[in-house]
Amino acid sequence: MNYSKRRFLKNGLLSAIGLSVVNSDSGWAGVGTNAYQEAFTLKFSPEFGIFSALSGNDPVDQIQWGNDNGFRAWENTMLKNRPIAEQEKISKALQKNGMEFGQFVGTLTFSEVTFAGNNKDAREQVLKEIRDSVEIAKRMNTKFVHNVLGAMDPKLPYDFQMANATELLKRGAEIYEEHGIVMVMESMNHKIDHPGMFLHTIPQAYALARAVDSPSVKILFDIYHVQIQEGNILSTLDYAWDEIAYFQIGDTPGRKEPGTGEINYLNVFHHIAKKGYTGFLGLEHGIKGSGKEGAKSALKQYRDLDQYIRAGL
């Protein structure tokens, strides 16, 4: 039985016997619901699969579970690989629950030189994928497309690569500006995960965003990657603040939920909230524990962090 059917039957039964549908972490919570119904202070945005031990695997069930447990936004990095009918189904479920959809990837490669190089065919393919992403963004009612800038070109001096990337970003911005869409670009660390990527620091992303000078080209600040590559998270995000449009979350080492690594997420989230940020914070991480207990533990961690944020505002 899927989550939606379980939820319908459960609520109907409880209502019939005069009990509240709000539950505890025991008993009925075993089917995947949770006592926390209040919306999170920050716009935490899960990815499909993170809490599937509680919600089940069906995308619509995951969205419904998320809404029931206080999440008011969602993201799906590889959305474009889903059939159009499934994208529409996801979009409808989000709208039904009054939830927002954040980023999906428009163009992505970890091995090919795209933005940094001068190969005409590769650059035209990027522009085609950017145009295609506009239609997906409209379908999902989102303004954020995450475009990965590809590999560095070891044959070209760094400054030439920066010039190439700036020019292609400007061409992409021309496409997105017409539709009010924001392309966000993510710096990816060289030290552990992506040693060959062109864009790997926030100062580099900041320089590109400033050079393009468009409301449609901004930074995706992935806290996990920044901590590994650069550290100094708070002062780095302060300096780049005007060019940051999106955050993603993950602790290190391990890229699991906050509280499982070295990053002081209490301070990071409080800092972001105090600066007035109301945008997406994508849950770009796995869960340290296994099964339902691991998922419940991760959810509780976000609730504990949220209480701290509320108390400090």
pLDDT at 1: 58
- Closest to 67 (Cα-Cα) out of 42, 88, 36, 90: 36
Instruction: Tell me the angle at which helices 3-16 and 59-68 cross, rounded to the nearest 10 degrees.
Output: 40
Give the chain's domains with CATH numbers: 70-312 (3.20.20.150)
Which amino acid is it at 102?
Answer: G
pLDDT at 36: 54
Mean pLDDT split into 10-residue runs, the chain, 313 residues: 52 38 33 64 98 98 98 98 98 98 98 98 98 98 98 98 98 98 98 97 98 98 98 98 98 98 98 97 98 98 95 84
Q: How far apart are the first and last CA of the chain?
A: 41
pLDDT at 37: 73
